[in-house]
Amino acid sequence: TDDFFKNIISHAKEYGFVFPSSEIYDGLSAVYDYGQLGSELKNNLKTYWWKSMVQLNENIVGIDAAIFMHPTTWKASGHVDGFNDPMIDNKDSKKRYRADQLIEDKIDRYEKDGKTDKAAQLQQDLDDALNADDLVRLKTIIEEHNIVCPISGTKNWTEVRQFNLMFDTQMGAMADGAEKVYLRPETAQGIFVNFLNVQKTGRMKIPFGIAQIGKAFRNEVIARQFIMRMREFEQMELQFFVRPGTEMEWYKKWKETRLKWHLALGADPAKYRYHDHAKLAHYANAAVDIEYEFPFGFKEVEGIHSRTDFDLKQHQEFSKKKMQYFDPEINQNYIPYVVETSIGLDRLFLTVLANSLVHEDLSSEEKQDSRVVLKFHPAIAPVKAAVLPLTKKDGLPEKAREIMAALKLDYNIQYDEKDAIGKRYRRQDAIGTPYCITVDHQSLEDNMVTIRHRDSMEQERVAITDLSRIIGERVSL
C-alpha cells in the first residue's frame, strides 16, 4: 500500500497531474491542486460523464447550482443534525480518529491473521452500533478489542463524540446580523431545490433526470490516501425522478448502466464489484457501491442510492412549497421518487491512475531497458498526440508545425523537438500520450509520417492528410 501511494503520488507530481495545495507553505491537509495534465484528464473524465448522461439521454438535462445554499436546505436534508462521523481522540498522542475506521482496521487485521470468525463477529458488532448510533458501544468495542493508537501505541482514549462534517462560514457583514451558511457537502441538494424549475421550464416528463458536476466539501476527521478522501472534492451526480413504485426497476437499471460506464474505460472487469450497503443512510431504501480494487483493497468509487421521496418531501415541508408533479399518464399528483448515482471525480481519477500506471521491463538479450507508461484509454488521455520532428533542422520543425496547426483545433497536441527520439517517446509514455507522430526527411517528399503506438510501441506509416481522421477514430469511446 505504501509503495503504491508513493509511486502514484510521485508520478502524479513529477508529471504535473496533482500537487499538494499551497505546497510552498507545506501544503494543506487533504486538499490538492490539479496541474496542467491533471486538469486535462479531469476535464476528459467530466466530458465522458456529461456526454453519457446528458447528451445521450433525451430525458436527462444538466445544471450548475451554487455551492452556497439557503441554510434551511441543510436542516431539511438532515445534514445539520445527522451528517456526522463518530470521532475519538487518543489522550497521549492527541491524535483524532474515526472510531468506526479504527474498528474497520482491526477487522482487516483479524482477516489478515486468518481469524475470519472474529472478523465477521466484529463487523456485525460495528454495523449494529452504527445502525443504532450507539457511541458508548463503539467505545466499548474499541476497549474490548484492545485497539491502540497507531501513533502512541496506547489505549488512553476519550469518549466517542459525533463530529459534523459540514464546513460553515458567515454570509454578509456582521453588522447586518451575519448568517451562518454551509459549504455544500453534496451537490444533490442543488438539484432537489431546482426540481420544479427544471421540470417546468424544460417541460420534463417523468421519468427524467437532472445531472450536475460540482465541488463538495467535507471536514473529514482523518485525511488519508491521497485524493481518495479529500476535504474539497468534486462530485458528478445524477438525480433521476421516477413514479413511486417503479424505483427498484430504475435502481437496477442504473446500477448496471453505471458499471458498464466504468468498464468502458478499459479496466479489467475483475477489478470491479458491487457492494450492497448493510447500513442504509437516513434517506435510502436501497444502496449499492461500485467498488474498484486498489492495491489496498476494494474501495467505493460510486454510490447508487434509491433515495425515495425523502428529500423532496423534506423540502416541501420546510419551504412550504409544493414539490409535486402531475403525471398526465395516470392523472395523478405525487412527489416523485429518486434514484441517485453519485461518483467522486477525484476518486475516479485515482482509479484511472491506479489502473493505468505500469512499469514495463523491456530488457532484451542486448540491453537492459524499462519504461513507465500511463496506459490511459485514448479518449481520456490528457494529450492525444505528440508531433516530433526527427531532427531540429532541414525543414523538419516547420513541417511538424504545419501538422500541429492542422490538428490542434480538434485535439490537445504537444510539440517536442528536444533530445533523442527514444527519449521523447519515453516522456510521452509517462504522461499517457497514445500516439507519437514522427516527421522525418522522407515526410518532406511523400507527405507521410510515422505513428508510434504507446502500448504496442509499433509504428505505422500514414499520410499526413489522414492523421486527423485516424486520431479521431481512435480517441472516441
| Cell numbers found for residue 166 | 459540514
- The nearer residue to ligand ATP, 341 or 414, going by C-beta atoms, is 341
- In the complex, what is the shortest distance from the CB of residue 308 to ligand ATP, in angstroms, rounded to a whole number? 16
474 is in an annotated binding site: no
* Selected binder of ligand ATP within 103, 160, 238, 301 (CB under 6 A): 301
Question: Would you give the distance in Å from CA 107 to the centre of its chain?
Answer: 26
Q: Is 170 annotated as a binding residue?
A: no
Question: Cα–Cα distance between 143 and 139 in angstroms, integer?
Answer: 6
Identify the residue among 79, 218, 262, 307 touching ligand ATP (CB under 6 A): 218
Number of Cβ within 10 Å of residue 376's Cβ equals 24
Q: How many helices (H) and strands (E) does the chain have?
A: 16, 23
**Cα–Cα–Cα angle for 442, 434, 449, rounded to 5 degrees:** 10
Per CB under 6 A, 11 contacts ligand ATP: no
Q: Which is nearer to ligand ATP, 41 or 388 (CB)?
A: 41
User: Which neighbouring-strand residues pair with 459?
Assistant: 452
- Binding of residue 416 to ligand ATP (CB under 6 A): no
Q: Would you say how long the chain is, in residues?
A: 477
Residue 237: beta bridge partners? Answer: 212, 342
**Does the annotation place 340 within a ligand binding site?**
yes
> How far apart (Å, rounded) are the C-alpha atoms in residues 184 and 181?
9
Q: Which residues of 94-110 are buried (b: 16+ CB within 10 A; e: fewer)?
A: eeebbbbbbbeebbeeb
Number of residues near ligand ATP (by CB under 6 A): 15
CA–CA separation, 376 vs 124, rounded Å? 39
What b/e string do you get for 30-59 counting C-beta neighbours within 10 Å, with b at 16 or more? bebebbebbebbbebbeebbbebbbeeeee
Collapsing DSSP to helix, strand or coil, 50 comes out as helix
Q: How many other C-beta atoms can be found within 10 angstroms of the C-beta atom of residue 213?
A: 21
Q: How far is the CB of 445 from ligand ATP (least distance, A)?
A: 53
104 binds ligand ATP (CB under 6 A): no
Query: What end-to-end distance do the CA atoms of the chain give, in Å?
Result: 31
Among residues 251, 271, 230, which one has the least CA distance to residue 29?
Answer: 230
186 marked among binding-site residues:
yes
The verdict on whether residue 237 carries a ligand-binding annotation is yes
- Would you say 258 is a known binding-site residue? no
Q: Looking at beta carbons only, is 223 or 406 nearer to ligand ATP?
A: 223
How would you classify the pairing of strands 337-344 and 297-308?
antiparallel
Q: Does 38 help bind ligand ATP (rule: CB under 6 A)?
A: no
The piece of 32-40, 201-209, 301-309, 311-319 that touches ligand ATP (CB under 6 A) is: 301-309
**Alpha carbons 218 and 233: distance in angstroms, whole number:** 8
Pick the piece of the chain touching ligand ATP (CB under 6 A) from 49-57, 115-123, 203-211, 338-346: 338-346
> Binding to ligand ATP by residue 217, rule CB under 6 A?
no
Q: Which is nearer to ligand ATP, 93 or 225 (CB)?
A: 225
Find the binder of ligand ATP among 309, 311, 346, 429 (CB under 6 A). Answer: 346
Q: Which is nearer to ligand ATP, 9 or 430 (CB)?
A: 9
Amino acid letter, residue 219: N
Kindly report the backbone phi and psi dihedral angles of residue 418, in degrees, each rounded to the nearest multiple of 5, phi listed first: -85, 140
Question: By Cβ distance, which residue is nearest to ligand ATP?
Answer: 344
Stretch that binds ligand ATP, among 17-25, 97-105, 300-308, 390-398 (CB under 6 A): 300-308
If one asks whether residue 235 binds ligand ATP (CB under 6 A), the answer comes out as yes
Per CB under 6 A, the list member of 303, 378, 389, 434 interacting with ligand ATP is: 303
CB of residue 287 vs ligand ATP: minimum separation in angstroms?
Answer: 8
302 binds ligand ATP (CB under 6 A): yes
Cβ(234)–Cβ(350) below 8 Å: no
**Minimal distance, residue 277 CB to ligand ATP, in Å:** 9
Shortest distance, position 164 Cβ to ligand ATP, whole Å: 13
Among 5, 110, 233, 292, binds ligand ATP (CB under 6 A): 233
Which residues are annotated as part of the binding site for ATP?
A: 218-220, 300-301, 344-347
Binding site for ligand ATP (CB under 6 A): 218, 220, 229-230, 233, 235, 300-303, 342-344, 346-347
Query: Residues within the annotated binding site for substrate?
Result: 98, 186, 233-237, 340-344
